[in-house]
């Protein structure tokens, strides 16, 4: 595998740029090819079969662009389509999801306790995090809550106000999240409200941002396999399956700066 090849990252939309940003922060020499499936978002309310079909199409685009790694930044797609994408990519690219690095982190840090998770309906109903965390055999119990209002709220930048704080509080007060030692933020968008969530818990539990954990795990993999790029081989590319000005402006929210989005239709 060519170490100078790009890292492919995909998501249902622009939210996965939180993960792209975390990757860029610690892997400055890597070229990134990002794909946001803006024509089909949100994934969080869709069936696993539909998400799988979109994920394979996107994987095809990223493989054609010669990516050495494909990172599924979207929790909903990681839960629904990881095994299939891995099989499809075969030996052409190493496929990463956002679930396994989090499971490894929780296994290292915790035992015999209750861990909470918030995410989309798809991520929660798939039970993938629960199955993997409980399979660590460390006496960990995972309790999850779907929090579907948070994605549209964050996308509209309707955050850090009285109403958004109230919505977050109502979700976090749910019985399901009682007596937890840590909370996994299992959605691309939630790093943007981590301060509000930390404020609710007042430092009593650990609130875990998966974007940083995933980026660290990707770096460790590249280092171990001698796949770190020595020098950036080209400009980052940001592809979307549907383009609007509003999507382009939203990149500032998730990536910290406005980036130019290039339209790339998935189905001709
Ligand atoms: N990217 C999705 C996730 O992390 C959230 C947005 C959506 O539902 O498409 O689950």
- CATH number of the domain residue 42 falls in: 3.40.50.1860
- 48 domain residue, yes or no: yes
Grade residue 158 by pLDDT with cuts at 50, 70 and 90. Answer: very high
219 and 93 fall within a common domain:
yes
35 and 83 fall within a common domain:
yes
Check if 55 has its Cβ closer than 6 Å to any atom of ligand 1.
Answer: no
108 and 155 fall within a common domain:
yes
Q: How far is the CA of 226 from the centre of ligand 1 (A)?
A: 32
- Among 2, 32, 23, 60, smallest CA distance to 264 is for 60
What number of helices (H) and strands (E) belong to the chain? 11, 10
Check if 37 has its Cβ closer than 6 Å to any atom of ligand 1.
Answer: no
CA dist., res. 11 & res. 228, Å (int): 23
Residue 153, pLDDT score: 97
Check if 74 has its Cβ closer than 6 Å to any atom of ligand 1.
Answer: yes
Among 169, 187, 210, the domain boundary falls at 210
Grade residue 1 by pLDDT with cuts at 50, 70 and 90. Answer: confident
Q: How far is the CA of 207 from the centre of ligand 1 (A)?
A: 19
- 2 domain residue, yes or no: no
Residue 268, pLDDT score: 63
**168 within 8 A of 195, measured Cβ to Cβ:** no
73 and 17 fall within a common domain:
yes
CA dist., res. 156 & res. 136, Å (int): 38
Domain carrying residue 243: 7-97+212-263
Instruction: Tell me the mean pLDDT in the region 109-136.
Output: 97
118 and 91 fall within a common domain:
no
How large a percentage of the chain has pLDDT more than 70? 100
166 and 235 fall within a common domain:
no
Instruction: Tell me the mean pLDDT in the region 9-26.
Output: 97
Work out how many domains the chain is built from and give that number.
2
Check if 76 has its Cβ closer than 6 Å to any atom of ligand 1.
Answer: yes
- Among 176, 52, 76, smallest CA distance to 129 is for 76
36 and 49 fall within a common domain:
yes
CA dist., res. 125 & res. 10, Å (int): 21
pLDDT at 267 > cutoff 90:
no
- 244 domain residue, yes or no: yes
90: left (phi over 0), alpha (psi -120 to 50) or beta: left
Check if 188 has its Cβ closer than 6 Å to any atom of ligand 1.
Answer: yes
Instruction: Give 47-65 pLDDT, tens digit per residue.
Output: 999 999 999 999 999 999 9
Q: Is the pTM of this model over 0.75?
A: yes
74 belongs to the catalytic site? yes
pLDDT at 187 > cutoff 90:
yes
80 and 12 fall within a common domain:
yes
- Tell me the three state secondary structure of residue 239: strand
163 and 108 fall within a common domain:
yes
67 belongs to the catalytic site? no
Q: How far is the CA of 33 from the centre of ligand 1 (A)?
A: 19
Q: How far is the CA of 68 from the centre of ligand 1 (A)?
A: 24
Which residues lie closer than 8 Å to 226 by C-beta, 6 or more apart?
A: 3
93 and 216 fall within a common domain:
yes
User: To the nearest whole number, what is the mean pLDDT of the chain?
Assistant: 97
Taking the CB of residue 28, how many other CB atoms lie within 10 A of it?
9
206 and 216 fall within a common domain:
no
pLDDT at 126 > cutoff 80:
yes
- 46 domain residue, yes or no: yes
Burial-class residue 219 by CB neighbours within 10 Å (0-12, 13-18, 19+).
Answer: middle
Out of 187, 192, 193, 239, pick the active-site residue. 187
Instruction: Give 191-223 pLDDT, tens digit per residue.
Output: 999 999 999 999 999 999 999 999 999 999 999
């Amino acid at each position: 595998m060519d170490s100078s090849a790009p890292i492919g990252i995909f998501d249902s939309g622009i939210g996965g740029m939180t993960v792209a940003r975390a990757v860029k922060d610690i892997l400055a020499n890597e070229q990134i090819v990002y794909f946001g499936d803006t024509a089909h978002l949100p994934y969080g309310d869709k069936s696993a079969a539909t998400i799988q079909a979109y994920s394979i199409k996107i994987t095809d685009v990223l493989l054609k662009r010669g990516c050495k790694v494909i990172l599924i930044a979207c929790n909903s797609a990681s839960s629904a389509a990881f095994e299939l994408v891995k099989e499809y990519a075969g030996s052409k690219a190493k496929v990463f999801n956002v679930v396994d690095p989090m499971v490894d982190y929780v296994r290292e840090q915790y035992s015999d306790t209750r861990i909470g998770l918030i995410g989309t309906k798809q991520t929660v109903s798939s039970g993938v995090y629960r199955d993997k965390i409980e399979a660590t055999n460390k006496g960990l119990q995972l309790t999850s809550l779907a929090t579907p209002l948070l994605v549209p709220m964050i996308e509209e930048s309707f955050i850090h106000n009285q109403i958004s704080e109230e919505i977050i509080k109502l979700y976090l007060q749910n019985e399901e999240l009682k007596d937890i030692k840590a909370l996994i933020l299992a959605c691309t968008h939630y790093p943007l409200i981590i301060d509000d969530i930390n404020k609710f818990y007042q430092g009593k539990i650990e609130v875990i941002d998966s974007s940083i954990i995933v980026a660290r795990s990707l770096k460790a993999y590249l280092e171990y396999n001698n796949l770190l790029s020595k020098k950036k081989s080209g400009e980052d590319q940001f592809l979307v399956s549907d383009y609007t000005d509003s999507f382009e402006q939203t990149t500032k929210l998730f990536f910290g700066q406005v980036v130019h989005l290039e339209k790339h239709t998935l189905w001709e």
